[in-house]
Amino acid sequence: MRVAEMDWRMVEDWVRHDDRAVLPLGSTEQHAGLSLLTDAILAERVAVEAAEPLGVPVFAAVPFGLSPGFQAFPGSLTLRVETLCALLRDLLDSLKRSGFRRIALVNGHAASAPAGALAQEWMMDNPDCRVRLHDWWRAPRTLSKVLETDPVASHAGWMENYPWTRLPGTPADDSKRMVELDRLKTLPPFEARSLLEDGSFGGRTQRPDAEMLAIWRIAVEETRELLDRW
């Protein structure tokens, strides 16, 4: 259940019998012709659909992450690593004070990997709590379905092109040679923009919605199983 549809009394009632909660992690960064909030939209939506039958509260997605390499693309916002870790620590502390002890971080942004180390550090100081970082798009069954559909899948390409991340005027299906990712990682922002051009890393820009929804169903099921096992 979305926390946006709850008041504080409903949260208080929930934690009397269950201590699970979900905090989605996203970003605000260029995704070629897709929404700047693609990562946040996908993380929150998969979390909400997964948690709905279980009644687990889902907080609004954290809309900012680590995006230093995209700073030459207008609208891309970034935190520093220490800022992200401080933010997540404060949020986990607040969740614990509200009565939550099992917290799933449903992550939609690859660069948020430091959140996993922060979760381990936080549990060291809070041994009565459990935190799990779940990269929904590369969970085993979901990633297997992605690669079965098309092995060339990367940032701002078809694998993030859903009806709910697509914008009016998003270019129709096209294909682009994959960039050299090892080279990309060595470049400062303006050189990275020159290499990427439109912003995507390569591959097809879109696949049929039927294929995308088949991947989505698996992603929701896999995320729900994680929550249910807790």
Task: Please give the model's pTM, rounded to 2 decimal places.
Answer: 0.96
Work out the pLDDT band at 157, boundaries 50, 70, 90.
very high
Instruction: Report pLDDT for 37.
Output: 98
What is the rounded distance in angstroms from the CA atom of residue 163 to the CA atom of residue 209? 8
Name the β-bridge partners of 69. none
**3-state secondary structure (DSSP) of residue 132:** strand
What mean pLDDT, rounded, does the chain reach?
Answer: 97
What is the rounded distance in angstroms from the CA atom of residue 10 to the CA atom of residue 110? 33
- How do beta strands 20-25 and 130-135 pair? unpaired
pLDDT tens digit sequence for 96-108: 999 999 999 999 9
Nearest to 219 by CA among 3, 2, 48: 48
Domains in the chain and their CATH numbers?
3-219 (3.40.50.10310)
Instruction: Indicate if the alpha-carbon torsion angle 61, 113, 222, 93 is positive or negative.
Output: negative
Query: Is the pLDDT assigned to residue 170 strictly greater than 90?
Result: no
Instruction: Report pLDDT for 81.
Output: 97
pLDDT tens digit sequence for 183-220: 999 999 999 999 999 999 999 999 999 999 999 999 99
What is the rounded distance in angstroms from the CA atom of residue 134 to the CA atom of residue 223? 8
Query: Is the pLDDT assigned to residue 174 strictly greater than 80?
Result: yes
Name the β-bridge partners of 34. 31, 166
Mean pLDDT of 124-144: 98
pLDDT tens digit sequence for 22-73: 999 999 999 999 999 999 999 999 999 999 999 999 999 999 999 999 999 9
Higher pLDDT, 85 or 230: 85
Q: Are the beta carbons of 78 and 63 closer than 8 angstroms? A: no
Instruction: Indicate if the alpha-carbon torsion angle 79, 2, 37, 208 is positive or negative.
Output: positive
What is the rounded distance in angstroms from the CA atom of residue 120 to the CA atom of residue 132? 9
Instruction: Report pLDDT for 136.
Output: 98
What is the rounded distance in angstroms from the CA atom of residue 15 to the CA atom of residue 11? 6
